[in-house]
Structure 1
Amino acid sequence: MGFEDAAGNIPPGRGTLYKLNDTSCFESLEPVLPGVSVSNGLAWNGDSTRMYYIDSPTKQIAVFNYNPVTAAISNRKTFYDFKTDNIPGVPDGMTIDANGDLWIANYNGAQVLHVSGKSGKLLGKLKIPAEKVSSVTFGGPQLDKLYVTTISRGVTSEKFHEYPMTGKVLEVSGLGVKGTKNNRIREKCFRPS
């Protein structure tokens, strides 16, 4: 996430995307992308040479060249822009499928977007019965189920009636695609002391 004041306002450009150093957990965070507002989705292509990144308030998905040896990013470009297809809301979480295509949670848009990982073109919209779609990932034994998280915070009773699955985790099957295995976290960094 990014900086948020006591009133819940997020001033643009006050955050930084960091990476964990190979030899430590949080003792040695390295800034890699300053001037962001709300860091969200991250995904890498199959050979880890491209990194996709979401800074939600920009309504864009950026793509970087990525060096899998050094974890350095370079050559930032806008890959997909919500404004191009008049998509409401903002991009939030994101995952990538085995074909290299992106699946993007559409916060305040009640959908998941399917975007070509090659061209950056919108391939489809998956309607979700919850307005605040927050993240997505593939799972299941065959990695052929898309799990979708949604948020209930700040949702009015009228919106709960309109979007009955608000605040739930949904499982979507039958998409005809499979996900990829996620990278493992450094478990030692997240164990209780």
Structure 2
Amino acid sequence: MHPLDTSLQPPAGAAFSAPVAGTVRCVQALGCALGEGLLWSVRERALYWVDILACHLHRWNPASGALQRWTFAEEISALAERSEGPGLIVTLRRGFALFDPATDAAPRYLHQPEPERTGNRFNDGKCDAQGRFWAGSMDFACQAPTGALYRYDPDGRCTRHDDGFAVTNGPTWSGTGQHTAMYFNATSEGNTYRYDCDPAMGTVSNKTLWKHWLPADGLPDGMTTDALGRVWIAHWGGGCVTCHDPVTAVELGRVSLPVSQVTTCAFGGADLRTLFITSARVGLTPEQLAAEPLAGALFAVDTDSLGVPAHLFGC
């Protein structure tokens, strides 16, 4: 897959530097109800993202300007490219599925892990460096603590690793080898958790509260990690993306957006130094929409931070 370059990480005990970012620009003003699921494809040099509530998958090639859209019969929320087979692994409303954008075939479900939780849908997710797809479910009404964290393996095994969330977002990872940490957001509670991660076994342990966010921060939504291991988090209701020390959670930098409901972020572009950011317009009042005409747009900002190529699903 694409392991972190350990030569880029500070030595033990060293302070993490503050990132530098340029001017935020709107690159696609699509007015997504709930933009999410960012994925930069290194092999296609294209960006994928979803509008969960509109059941849309978007693909944009920055070099050619080509924009494509696929519409599904149910919500699509997260995706990763496959390492061997064609197309993508995605999360739909009920679980994990395969979809090939090159064909007109409907997505094919692989596994639906919680048929008894009829009020749930899947939300955010991504692959780890070993090619396993991690994703969280959530209560569609964002109230009941019925969401869980799952790991879906290339051999078809599905494991529930944590439970009891109303809204889930993430995960992302920082570090390498036996010193890998996984971060996961319990969005409704305003909590970001850190787990010790065993990459070989695909297990997590020692769950700790990494950061509780104050109301002025908004709520922690989607997130990513750069090659230095710094954690970047989008703020729903907070109008920004912040960058943090992965150990202390101290804020190192902030990217402000002209919209309030910032949903996720991912590095991409030819040099993996452009931070792409999605947003949402669902739930905003007419007055808020008038004040935020770009709500639901896709944004980009150039940074001095090197991203990590998105890991591929291992089959």
Whole-angstrom CA distance in 1 between matches of 2:293 and 2:231: 26
* Structure 1 partner of 2:240: 111
CA-CA distance at 1:9 after TM superposition: 4.8
In 2, the alpha carbon distance for the partners of 1:102 and 1:9 equals: 25
Tell whether the 8 Å contact from 2:239 to 2:258 is kept in structure 1 after alignment.
Answer: yes
What is the total number of aligned residue pairs between the two structures?
A: 177
Q: CA deviation at 1:151?
A: 0.6
Is residue 51 of structure 1 aligned with residue 182 of structure 2?
yes
8 A Cα contact 1:80 1:121, kept in partner: no
CA distance in 2, matches of 1:179, 1:21: 24
Query: Contact conserved, 2:263 with 2:278, CA < 8 A, in 1?
Result: yes
Q: Note if contact 1:105-1:136 (Cα within 8 Å) is conserved in structure 2.
A: yes
> Which residue in the other structure is 2:203 paired with?
72
Change (3 A) 1:38 1:91: same
TM-superposed CA distance for 1:21, in Å, is: 2.7
1:168 aligns with 2:297: yes
Work out whether 1:87 is the aligned partner of 2:216: yes
- 1:33 CA displacement: 0.5
Of stretches 59-68 and 177-186 in structure 1, the one that deviates more from structure 2 is 177-186
Bigger Cα displacement from structure 2, 112-121 vs 129-138 = 112-121
Q: 1:123 aligns with which of 224, 240, 252?
A: 252
Give the distance between the partners of 1:31 and 1:57, measured in 2 at CA.
20
Letter of the 1:79 counterpart: W
Cα deviation for residue 113 of structure 1 reads: 1.3
**Is this contact kept in 2: 1:82–1:90, CA < 8 A?**
yes
Code of the residue aligned with 1:119 in structure 2: it is T
Query: After the TM superposition, which residues 5-84 of structure 1 pair with which residues of structure 2 at under 5 Å, given as runs?
Result: 8-11=141-144, 13-24=145-156, 28-47=157-176, 49-83=180-214
Q: How much does 1:160 deviate? A: 2.2
- Structure whose CA Rg is larger: 2
Q: Hey, what's the Cα distance between the residues in 2 that align with 1:77 and 1:148? A: 27
TM-score by length of 1: 0.85
Equivalent in the alignment of 2:312: 184
Q: Which amino acid counterpart does residue 146 of structure 2 have in structure 1? A: R
Which sections of structure 1, spanning at least 5 residues, go unmatched?
Answer: 189-193
User: How high is the sequence identity, in percent, across the aligned residues?
Assistant: 26
More strand by proportion, 1 or 2?
2
